Structure 1
Amino acid sequence: MTTASSENAPAPFDMVGYGYALAGAVLFSTKGIFAKLAYAEGASTEMVMALRMLIAVPVYLVILVMLLRRGDKRLGLLTPKRILPCMAVGTMGYYVSSYLDFAGLAFVDAQYERLVLFTYPFFVFFFGVWFFGDRMKWRLILPMLITYSGLLVIFGWSLAVRPDGLMIGTLLVLGSAIVFALYQHLARREMLIVGSALFTCVGMATAGVFAIGQSLVISGVSGFTELSPSIWFYGVMLGVFGTILPSFLLNAGIARIGARATSSTASFGPIATIALAVIILGEAFTIYHAIGTALVLLGSSLFAGSERKAASTGK
C-alpha cells in the first residue's frame, strides 16, 4: 500500500546521472580549444565543422549497426513518425547550435566563448517555465544577474582592448546557447521514447550530413585533400574528445536526471576551458577576467545549488 508520504517523497540524488553530466560538460569545454587551434592553421568554420563530423559520424553509425544487430527492443519504435523528430532535434542541437558556436569562436576568445555559452542553463530554466510546465523559482533570478554581471565585466574589457568582431561573436555564441537550451528539452522527450544511445546516433548522423554537405558545397572535395596534417589532427581531437564522448555522456545525464539538472553542471566547463585557453592558446587572463569569471562561476554555483536543492526536496 502506498502512503501519501511515500508518494510525495523526493527522488533520490542520482550520483551516476550527475557524473555523466559533469564529465560531458568538461569534455565539451575542449571544443573551443581544438577549434581555435584549427583556425590558427587556416581552417574555416565550415571545414572545422565538417572535420568534426567526419570523425564522429562513423562512430555513431557503427553504434547504430550494433544496436540493430543486438535487436534492441526500442528499435521497433523507429517508425517515420518517431525517427523524423529525432533527426530534427538532433540537427538543432548538433548542427544549428554548433555552427553558431563555431562561427562565434572565429571572433571571440575561447574562454569568453565558453562563459557566454554556459549561460544556456538559464535559457533551459526559462524554456521549462514558459513551454514545458516547470514552476517558476524567483530565487534563481539573483544568480542569473550575478552571472551576467560577470560577463559584462569581461565584455567591457574586450570592448576596450579588442572590439573587432566582439558584438557579432557574442550574439552568435548567445544564439547557440539559446538553441542548445531548447534542444535539451526536446531531446529529453525523444530519449524517453527511443533511448539516449539510439537518439544520439540518429541525431548526430543527421547533423553530420548537413555539416559535411555544407563544406562540400562551399569548398568541394579538394577542400579536404588540401588540409595540413595538423588541421586533420585537431579535427580528430575535436571529433573524439569534443564530440563523441561528451555527447553520449551528456545525453545519458539528460535521460537520468533531466535537462535542468544536467544543465546545472555546466559551470565546471568554463574552468577547464579557461585553463586550457591560457596555457595552450596563450590567451590573456587579466584582473578583469578574474573578476568576471569569479562572478560567472558564483552565479552558476548558486543557480546549480538551488536546482539541486529543488531536486532533492521536490520544491
Structure 2
Amino acid sequence: MKTNSSTYTGIVFAILGVILFSAKAVLVKMAYEYQISSEHLLLFRMIFSLPFYIVIGIWSRLKHPEKVTQSDYGWVLFFGVIGYYLASYFDFLGLQYIKAGLERIILFIYPTLVLLISRFFFKKKISNRQLIAIGITYVGVTITFWEEVGANSSHLELGAFLIFLSALTYASYLVGSGWLIPKFGVVTFTSYVMIVSSICVLVQYLLFDREDLTVYPTEVYLIGGIMAIFSTLAPSYLVSAAIARLGASNFSIIASLGPASTIVLAYFLLGEQLSSVQMIGSGIVIIGIYIVTRKKRQ
C-alpha cells in the first residue's frame, strides 16, 4: 500500500469510522437503561439521520449523475433491506442480552462470512491462509463466549445468535453490493441504501407498533440523536471514503480495531469488566481477522 497523502487520509477516515461505528453498541446499552424497546431505539437512530441522507443523496446525484438501470435500483432496495435494516435490527435485539464488548467480538467475524458466502454463491476459491484465519477467528470467539456462558443469563445464547445473524446479513450485503458501488459512487450508494433502511424501520413502526414515542426521558432522544449523527451518519461516509482510498481489503485490516475499541469504550462508559481470558479471546479474533483480510505482499 503506497504511503501517499490520500492513503494517510484514508487511514484516518478508516480509524475514525471504525471507532464511531463501534461506539453504537455502547450507546445502545446506555439507552436500554431507560427501558426503551429495541424497535423504538432503532427508529430514533434512523429517522434522526434520514433527513441528512436525503439531502446528501440528492446533492451527490446532481453532482455526479449515475448511469444505472431499473434493476440496479431494485438491487439497491434489496441490499438496503438486507445490509442495514436487518443487520441493525438483529444487532439491537441481541444487545438486550449480551455485553457490548462481546457483541463486537461476534459481529466482527463478518470478514470470514464474506469468504464463505463468496465461495458458496460465486465459487471463489478459499486459500489455505484464509482457512487458517477462519479457524483462528472462531477459536477466539469460542474462548470469549465460553466464559460468558457460566457468568451470564440464560438468554446469552439467544443474544449471541441474533448478533451472528447481524454479521451474516451484513456480510451478505458486502458480497452482493460491491459491483453496484462503481455504478452509483460511494456517497450516492451509501445514501440510497441508508434511506431504504430508514424507510423500512419507519414502515415497521407504522404497521406493527404505533406506540407513543414521546414517553421517554430527554436522555433517550439525546442518545438517539448522538447515535444518528456520530455512530450512523458520519461513520457511514467515513468508511465509504476510506474504502475508496484504501480498498476493501486494507480497510478490513483497520476494521479489526472494532472489537478492541468497543471494549475500551464499554470499560470507561459502561463499567463493563472483561477478564484476562476474554481479552485473550478478543486478541485471537483480531489476529484471525487480520490474517483473513490482509493482502499478500507483492
* Fold shared per TM-score above 0.5: yes
Q: Tell me, yes or no, if the aligned pair for 1:184 and 1:259 is still in contact at 8 Å.
A: no
Aligned to 2:221: 232
Specify every segment of 5 or more residues in structure 2 that has no aligned partner in the other structure, as ranges: none
Q: Tell me, yes or no, if the aligned pair for 1:25 and 1:269 is still in contact at 8 Å.
A: yes
Deviations along 1:161-198, one digit per CA (max 9) or x if unpaired, are: 11421111111111111111111122221111111111
Provide the rounded CA distance (Å) in 2 between the counterparts of 1:29 and 1:193: 29
Aligned to 1:153: 143
Aligned to 2:64: 72
| Aligned-residue identity in percent | 30
Provide the rounded CA distance (Å) in 2 between the counterparts of 1:253 and 1:186: 19
Report which stretch shifted further, 151-160 or 79-88.
79-88
Aligned pair 1:58/2:51, yes or no?
Answer: yes
Question: Which residues in structure 2 correspond to 1:113-262 (within 5 Å)?
Answer: 113-132=103-122, 134-220=124-210, 222-262=211-251
Amino acid corresponding to residue 203 of structure 1 in structure 2: V
> SS of the residue aligned with 2:212?
helix
Aligned to 1:3: none
Aligned to 2:278: 289
Amino acid corresponding to residue 60 of structure 1 in structure 2: Y
Deviations along 1:188-230, one digit per CA (max 9) or x if unpaired, are: 211111111111111111110111221233431x532212110
Provide the rounded CA distance (Å) in 2 between the counterparts of 1:269 and 1:12: 24
Aligned to 1:308: 295
**Which of 42, 45, 48 in structure 1 is aligned with 2:38?**
45
Specify every segment of 5 or more residues in structure 1 that has no aligned partner in the other structure, as ranges: 1-10
Provide the rounded CA distance (Å) in 2 between the counterparts of 1:265 and 1:143: 16
Report which stretch shifted further, 244-253 or 16-25.
16-25
Q: Tell me, yes or no, if the aligned pair for 2:112 and 2:289 is still in contact at 8 Å.
A: no
Report which stretch shifted further, 289-298 or 110-119.
289-298
Aligned to 1:94: 84
Closer/same/farther in 2, CA of residues 42 and 163 from structure 1, 3 Å limit: closer
Aligned to 1:6: none
| 1:261 positional shift | 4.0
Closer/same/farther in 2, CA of residues 157 and 113 from structure 1, 3 Å limit: same
Provide the rounded CA distance (Å) in 2 between the counterparts of 1:213 and 1:284: 38
Provide the rounded CA distance (Å) in 2 between the counterparts of 1:266 and 1:135: 23
| 1:82 positional shift | 2.2
Provide the rounded CA distance (Å) in 1 between the counterparts of 2:205 and 2:160: 24
Provide the rounded CA distance (Å) in 1 between the counterparts of 2:250 and 2:118: 12
Closer/same/farther in 2, CA of residues 296 and 66 from structure 1, 3 Å limit: same
Q: Tell me, yes or no, if the aligned pair for 1:104 and 1:173 is still in contact at 8 Å.
A: yes
Q: Tell me, yes or no, if the aligned pair for 2:83 and 2:169 is still in contact at 8 Å.
A: yes
Q: Tell me, yes or no, if the aligned pair for 2:68 and 2:183 is still in contact at 8 Å.
A: no
Amino acid corresponding to residue 174 of structure 1 in structure 2: F
* Backbone CA RMSD of aligned residues: 2.1
Please give the TM-score of this superposition, normalised by the length of structure 1: 0.86
| 1:50 positional shift | 0.3
Amino acid corresponding to residue 38 of structure 2 in structure 1: T
Closer/same/farther in 2, CA of residues 226 and 163 from structure 1, 3 Å limit: closer
**Which of 255, 277, 281 in structure 1 is aligned with 2:266?**
277
| 1:130 positional shift | 3.3
Provide the rounded CA distance (Å) in 2 between the counterparts of 1:207 and 1:195: 18
| 1:28 positional shift | 0.9
Q: Tell me, yes or no, if the aligned pair for 1:86 and 1:203 is still in contact at 8 Å.
A: yes
Aligned to 1:7: none
| 1:19 positional shift | 4.5
Please give the TM-score of this superposition, normalised by the length of structure 2: 0.91
